[in-house]
Amino acid sequence: MRICIFGAGAVGSHFAVRLALAGHEVSCVMRGPHLEAVKSRGLTLRVGDARFNAKVSASADPAALGPQDLVISTLKATSVASLASGLRPLLRDDTPVVFAQNGIPWWYDIGLSADHPATPDLSFLDPGGALRAAIPRERIMGGVIFSSNEVIEPGVVANLSPDRNMLVVGECDDRASDRIAKLRAVLEGASIASAPPPQIRETIWAKLLTNMSMSVLCLLTGQTARAVRDEPALQQVIPRLLDEANAIAQSCIPTVKRVTRSGPAPEHKPSILQDYELGRAMEIDVLVRAPAAFARAAGLSTPMLDLIAGLAMQKARDKGLYKAG
């Protein structure tokens, strides 16, 4: 199968190696020193003491890679708009595109079931409607990544969650299609777990519950998730914030499992804090602003979320890493 990973940073590079070693013809859209290293030495995945190397095609120009059977976008939400112009050379008539990102995706309201509550205006996730104009509904697949990775040097990515590497996928309208079944088989064959979700948006919200609460607290404090969970000064704050996050998610998908403070908390910095420290554009809109919009649409009072959202926006804006659309 010809598979293109569009935006192969840490997690995309990890998946690229696994898919290539499983026998697929893998190409990557990437840039900078990472691209140059991959072109000369291939792509290396480190899992503990083990090292896996794979030869993949790589370019900053999608047109150099040719038509694909599948495109998996692992771009961060702040960069996903580049797909509007970059995808076309990669597409055959029936090529699907998996949008695997954190937070509320730009396509959230496309293919919604009739019983889903009305969504707020999410046009700020796709300014000018460029993605909607370029990518028709029939190509869209949702994806949610559960995998912790880090590019430790150009061309080398380390997997930090050897027991939890998963890409949950689903059609945007949650139908059980042959292509989704085939994709899950491809992922499982490459040692990337891919259990079928009841609804793809349920999985989106399940992951977002932690990102919109604990991860934002990590950003504001500069601490790891475990340090935030164990911080005495936050013992009364965290439950209130999680109660609000759970209420927002369950106003959309009642079956979303509640997240509590007693859940696992890894000793690492979430991506939103990493982005801040590295001076990269931050996923404020999809992790904070969009959930706040859902809260308003549902008539929910969320003073804790409103407070940390405002602080996160100001912190990112003061460093030039966020500009509200």
Confidence of residue 212 (pLDDT cuts 50, 70, 90): very high
Q: How many CB atoms lie within 10 A of CB 195?
A: 10
Catalytic residues: 207
Residues 7-42 have pLDDT tens digits of 999 999 999 999 999 999 999 999 999 999 999 999
**Is the pLDDT confidence value at 301 over 90?**
yes
Residues 153-191 have pLDDT tens digits of 999 999 988 988 999 999 999 999 999 999 999 999 999
The whole-number pLDDT of residue 265 equals: 74
The whole-number pLDDT of residue 262 equals: 60
Contacts of 255 (CB under 8 A, 6+ apart): 198, 199, 202
34 residue type, one letter: H
Contacts of 140 (CB under 8 A, 6+ apart): 96, 97, 99, 107, 110, 111, 171, 172
Contacts of 228 (CB under 8 A, 6+ apart): 214, 217, 218, 221, 234, 238, 265
The three-point CA angle 62-278-305 to 5° equals 100
209 residue type, one letter: L
Contact 238, 202 (CB under 8 A): no
The whole-number pLDDT of residue 269 equals: 86
Q: Based on DSSP, count helices (H) and strands (E) in the chain, helices before strands.
A: 13, 11
Q: Tell whether the torsion through CA atoms of 257, 261, 266 and 268 is positive or negative.
A: positive
Please tell me the pTM assigned to this model: 0.94
Residues 85-141 have pLDDT tens digits of 999 999 999 999 999 999 999 999 999 999 999 999 999 999 999 999 999 999 999
Nearest to 20 by CA among 32, 30, 12: 12
The whole-number pLDDT of residue 131 equals: 96
Q: How many CB atoms lie within 10 A of CB 250?
A: 16
**Domains in the chain and their CATH numbers?**
2-197 (3.40.50.720), 202-318 (1.10.1040.10)
CA separation for the pair 257, 206 (Å, rounded) = 7
